Amino acid sequence: MTYQPHSTPSAIPGVDLAGSSPLFPALPGDRLLNALPLGDLGEKRLIFNQIDTPGQLHLYRFDCTAGERLRAQMFVPLLPRGGTVVPAFAVIGQSLPYSAESQKVPADLPKGYSAIVAQPPGQLLQPVEDMLTRVRYYPGPVIDTRSLVGGTCYLAVWSPHNHMGKYVIQTGHRWPLAATYWARIPLFWWQIRGWFGLNRSGAVSAVAGVALVGLLAVWLLKKK
């Protein structure tokens, strides 16, 4: 199937949580100059963070190349005690195809930069469950486009209504290639369950399950 980029946010989200490395970053900067650097935008990540003051803007910085696919999706975590936010988010880069949206971003963009903005959805869809951690999310809008010029691109997250709470943003589209990703899955399970405020007594079972999957993968490789 041929990939067709969208120049505007998609109203019907696709959900593909598998293969995403979780990140729990510190407070990002609120200007492009002090945006939090996160490396390559192509690698799949789940960014877990929270807006803790009204009007707060979170800016993340990525490296991108000309023609590279730029993908981001918002998720609203289903927390047992509440405390979530449904934010707006934007992908910012040089010469993106939907530049009219730039004025909606609460940041000053340099000359030549434009933005694609995904506004908070009017209603949340059926929640989805992550198979590994058993946590649930309401899927939100997707921005899926391509960069026209290489260099630096940004992800901006904010609440247009000055709400506060936790949010999750998925970025990228490529599975991580490093073998250490699989070794860290038990740690990911522990971190994500803790961030959600859920019971982590099943850690031993999770480790055993990951070990079983790893052994099966090694057996399949040897068989080939």
**Sheet hosting strand 136-146, strand order edge to edge:** 21-23, 45-51, 165-171, 69-77, 136-146, 128-129
What is the per-residue pLDDT for 87? 95
Q: Report the relative pairing of strands 136-146 and 69-77 from DSSP bridges.
A: antiparallel
Q: How far apart are CA 55 and CA 52, in angstroms?
A: 9
Domain boundaries, the chain: 21-171, 180-223
- Residue 165's region, left for phi above 0, alpha for psi from -120 to 50, else beta, is left
Q: What is the pLDDT of residue 2?
A: 30
Residue 86 token pair: 């449904």
Question: If you average pLDDT over each of 36-45, 156-165, 191-200, which comes out highest?
Answer: 156-165
At 204 the pLDDT is 53
Which 3-state string (H, E, C) describes 65-94? CCCCEEEEEEEEECCCCCCECCCEEEEEEE
Reported as a single tens digit per residue, the pLDDT across 126-163 is 899 998 899 999 999 999 988 888 889 999 999 999 99
The CATH number that domain 21-171 falls under is: 2.60.120.380
Q: Which stretch of 98-112, 140-154, 182-196 has the lowest confidence by average pLDDT? A: 98-112
pLDDT at res. 9: 52
**Predicted pLDDT at 54:** 95
> Strand, helix or coil at 149?
coil
222 has pLDDT over 70: no
What whole-number distance in Å separates Cα of residue 75 and Cα of residue 127?
10
Count Cβ atoms within 10 A of the Cβ of residue 60 and give its class: 0-12 exposed, 13-18 middle, 19 or more buried: buried
Cα 211 to chain center, whole Å? 26
pLDDT-derived band of residue 22, with 50, 70 and 90 as boundaries? very high
Given a cut of 80, whether residue 7 has pLDDT beyond it is no
Helix (H, G, I), strand (E, B) or coil at 22: strand
- Global pTM reads 0.82
